[in-house]
A = this chain, B = another copy of it.
Amino acid sequence: MEALTDGIFAISMTLLVLELKVPDAPKSISSHELLHKLGEEIPAFFSFFVSFIYCGLLWTLHHLAAHFFRHIQLGLAWLNLFFLMSIALLPFSCALLGHFLGNVAAEEIYFGNMLVAAVLLALQWQVATRKNLINEDDPQAAKDIGQKLLFFPPALAAAMLVTPYGSKAAFYAMAMVFVTLRIWQRKVLRKTKSPSPPPSS
């Protein structure tokens, strides 16, 4: 399943760029006007940027999580297939957002798509844990990944809740959770690196 997953992520992430259109202007356009035209596409660049980083994070987490699966069982394979479908849909949601930035419906669809992907990824981990398919070689690292996976769904749910009150606020909400995630991550890592304080003799 890894090869198909890698392929679909790579393609989805690269297809995001197809939403960035070369401005429809005469070839003799001045540099100033071209920059102005490109400036109008800033929403599309913004949604490309956010979506690419988001996909990159999900891919990394999926990759880390997959290393802990002892084997793939039928239920997990189906969850992964639906997960990949939500990833394959992202270029569409991203294009929708890039074209209609500020439109509540477009933004809800965009965050909704991301939420579904995050939930399906976290679910894979939960199912694997329940069915005892998680490799116990490095329980600390496994716990760490399991926790990280649970961070994404609330972040995106927050973004969806905030969207109707302001399209930018939703991104701030999501970003805040990412920063929180980062801080939390650091703390955990620091703890992990000094797990056993030297016994005072």
Q: Let me know if A12 and B14 touch, CB within 8 A.
A: yes
Known A34-B100, A99-B22, A100-B29; contact A8-B4, beta-carbon cutoff 8 A:
no
Residues of B within 8 A of A18 (CB): 15, 18
* Partner-contacting stretch, out of A48-56, A126-134, A140-148, A150-158: A48-56
How many copies of this protein are present in the complex?
Answer: 4
Interface size class of A (residues with CB under 8 A): 35 or more
Q: Let me know if A11 and B7 touch, CB within 8 A.
A: yes
* Partner-contacting stretch, out of A87-95, A114-122, A168-176: A87-95
Residues of B within 8 A of A96 (CB): 22
A192 within 8 A of B: no
* Residue ID in chain B nearest A11 by CB atoms: B14
A104 within 8 A of B: yes
A105 within 8 A of B: yes
Within 8 A of B (CB), among A13-54: 13-18, 20, 22, 27, 29-32, 34-35, 38, 48-49, 52-53
